[in-house]
Amino acid sequence: MTVKTGIVEHLGEKAILVPDLLAGALQANDRAKLRMTVLQEAVAHARHPEAGVRSLSGELRAAGMDDPALEESIRGARLLPEDAVLVPGADDLVSGLRGDIEAMIAPLDAVAAPSAADFSARLQQLRLEEFSGETVGDAEIATLTSANREGRDTAHLLVMDLHKALNKLSTEVSVETLAGAHVLHIADDDRPRIRAFMRGVDRTRGLAFGHPGLGTTAARSGERLVIQNDIGTTDAHVLVVAVEAGTVTITYTDIHLRRAQFFVGLFDSWKMDWVPLAERKARGLAEGAAFFLVTGSYTSRDENDCQAFLEYLGSRIVFLIDWNKARKALQPFVSKSEAVRLLRQAAAEDYGHRGFLELGGAELLFDAIQRSAEGRIPYGTRLDAALGATQAYDLLARVMRLSSQGLAQRRSARLLRDEVRAELTQCVVSVEREILDIVLRQLGLARDLASMIQDALSDGRGLNREAAQRLSQRAKHLEAKADVLTVRAREMAEGPMGRGLRFLPIVNGIEDAVDELEEAVFVLSIAPDHVATETIARPLGELARTAVECCSGLVRAVAAALQAPAGNRRDTADTLEGIEDAVQAEKQADAAQRAAIAGFIADIDCARTLTVGVETARAIETSTDRIAHAALVLRHCVLDDLAPWKS
């Protein structure tokens, strides 16, 4: 018997097997009759060797008994003393007959027909198991093949009676199709429930994308409606559902533990009682065919609720097909637990994983990476390490969804693969955007600092002690914030997988600029008295203004770069323009610094004031150097992206 039926039997659900058993029994009937015919022909040939041999090859072949030994039984039959006959392979014939009779009793047994016990008793009394050897005596021939009802019971009579009983059973037990399920022997109350289950199955059937399976059989067994679904075509992957009154009991077997766990997880939103996962072995199965058994039950509130549950259950089965294959397909890209999470989400949101597999599964992604993200995802880097766990997860979820929906809409596989590539590109680019976002924040703080300096010096009166202290504290605070941003950006850019590595010099440049500006504030804050700073305030204020302009230029450039990573011409032009503004502002700062220092050296006698002036001017001008340098790095990256050989 197949593993599936073996397990089903093990589960004690014989009623569901009746059609199979019936079919088997009718075949066994044919075989039994043929075996008996072979025996008769053998005896006839032995007694009258001159009469020739009737070929039974046609019938034997039709019954699947194409064994040359059977023909040999007839040909090699010899008469023995005392009217016994030698029939080669007689013991096989008889034991085969015994098996056939057992098979004929099986369906009657499955439906618990009272006649089954009688037939079993008759078989026992024939004592066919005691026959051995190749010598068949007269009495034995009679026991096997006589059709005379006047005497003892014979195998032939038993077969004939069984055949009659089976035919009767056949008419009673008819298999009909209800909503796509094979059903037999069901009560009227069962019909809406079976329909509900099938509604669920049919709703998500498409997500299998042609994978065979999902066949459903239903039958009534005593007080219960029993539904069985094939799921995929893998043996030992079986789902049996029993409905009794309002309680639905699910019995699920699987050879994969994780998938069994996944199955249980599908019902998180229903109040189910689960019996813990247990490992079983079914009798009669091949070695190593252990399986995990899960049993859970749901008590419904009313008929509507019961049907709702059955429908939901039916709709979940497709997500079990090729589950393990899908999980393996995802594992080169994300962690095991994330792969399972993706599959859970795919089931929860009704797009499933089969579409993804149909488009190529892991190959689909490898191909996309190679073609679209070359150089940006270092070879050998797992996707979640290169993009970040969240990004990678979201990307894969999107790919699975678009595969499923795209195939369902009958869009071409080629176009869908292109879309997957586009998704990946977007993702990689979005990671770079994150770094530019941080750069923008750094620049904001740099500009704020430069602006603060400009404000403080703007009225030409200089800073008094109090104001200078406050300014110094604020500057430190801004610098501390900028540090945090820099660390974050460096981690992203320098991390083992190097996301956005090319923007690192920009990050570092602005960090340096912020440091210089904070240095400028520090020097101002330790100026001895505000009278002295009056004389240096105006030129330094002007210098600070150019620093603000410099930051503004780069802000404009980065903001434009952020808004259009796709290389839109307008945006690129604005980016380059902002960069140019920053570079020009640095030149202005240069000139302003020289003018300031020249003035200081010419006019200031006090060494302290002179030092404060010169040092502050130097620090502010250096900050613009750093910003301008960062701007040039950005230009390099932008022009790089525009290079004609990039796709």
Binding site for another protein (CB under 8 A): 440-441, 443-445, 447-448, 451, 454-455, 458-459, 461, 464, 473-474, 477-478, 481, 485, 545, 548-549, 551-556, 559-560, 562-563, 570-571, 574, 578, 581
Which CB, 85 or 551, lies closer to another protein?
A: 551
Task: For residue 318, give both structure tokens.
Answer: 């497709």
Which CB, 348 or 632, lies closer to another protein?
A: 632
Least spacing, CB of residue 466 vs another protein, in Å = 9
Q: Show the DSSP H helices in 336-464 as ranges.
A: 336-348, 354-358, 362-372, 383-387, 389-408, 413-457
Least spacing, CB of residue 552 vs another protein, in Å = 3
Contacts of 590 (CB under 8 A, 6+ apart): 621, 624
Neighbours of 295 (CB within 10 A): 17
Task: For residue 420, give both structure tokens.
Answer: 């997957």
Least spacing, CB of residue 630 vs another protein, in Å = 14
Which CB, 77 or 443, lies closer to another protein?
A: 443
Beta-ladder partners of 300: none
Least spacing, CB of residue 496 vs another protein, in Å = 28
3-state helix, strand and coil shares in percent for the chain, rounded to the nearest 5: 70, 10, 25
Least spacing, CB of residue 391 vs another protein, in Å = 20
Which CB, 107 or 578, lies closer to another protein?
A: 578
Which CB, 36 or 510, lies closer to another protein?
A: 510
Which CB, 194 or 551, lies closer to another protein?
A: 551
Least spacing, CB of residue 565 vs another protein, in Å = 12
Task: For residue 549, give both structure tokens.
Answer: 């302009």
Q: Are 306 and 227 in contact, with CB atoms under 8 Å apart?
A: no
Least spacing, CB of residue 536 vs another protein, in Å = 17
Q: Please choose, from the candidates 208, 230, 146, 219, the residue with its C-alpha nearest in 3D space to the C-alpha of residue 182.
A: 219
Least spacing, CB of residue 348 vs another protein, in Å = 24
Which CB, 330 or 554, lies closer to another protein?
A: 554
Which CB, 24 or 553, lies closer to another protein?
A: 553
Least spacing, CB of residue 545 vs another protein, in Å = 5
Least spacing, CB of residue 560 vs another protein, in Å = 5
Which CB, 315 or 552, lies closer to another protein?
A: 552
Least spacing, CB of residue 523 vs another protein, in Å = 21
What length is written for the chain? 647
Q: What is the distance between the alpha carbons of residues 268 and 35, in angstroms, rounded to a whole number?
A: 56
Which CB, 391 or 546, lies closer to another protein?
A: 546
3-state secondary structure of 84: coil
Query: How is 4-15 classified by DSSP, letter by letter?
Result: HHHHHHHTT-GG
Long-range own/partner contacts, residues 340-348 (CB < 8 A, 24 or more apart)? 340/258, 340/262, 341/393, 342/393, 342/396, 342/397, 342/400, 343/262, 343/319, 344/262, 344/265, 345/397, 346/319, 346/397, 346/400, 346/401, 346/404, 347/266, 347/316, 347/319
Please name the helix (run of DSSP H) or strand (run of DSSP E) that holds residue 228, with its range, or none: strand 224-229
Q: How far is CA 317 from CA 198, 230, 505, in A?
A: 11, 9, 53
Least spacing, CB of residue 563 vs another protein, in Å = 5
Q: Please choose, from the candidates 586, 479, 468, 587, the residue with its C-alpha nearest in 3D space to the C-alpha of residue 526.
A: 468
Neighbours of 49 (CB within 10 A): 12
Which residue in the block uniquely carries the two structure tokens 């030409």?
460
Contacts of 351 (CB under 8 A, 6+ apart): 207, 400, 401, 404, 405
Which CB, 19 or 541, lies closer to another protein?
A: 541
Which CB, 142 or 440, lies closer to another protein?
A: 440
3-state secondary structure of 235: coil
Contacts of 146 (CB under 8 A, 6+ apart): 154, 156, 157
Least spacing, CB of residue 515 vs another protein, in Å = 16
Q: What is the distance between the alpha carbons of residues 195 and 201, in angstroms, rounded to a whole number?
A: 10
Which CB, 258 or 476, lies closer to another protein?
A: 476
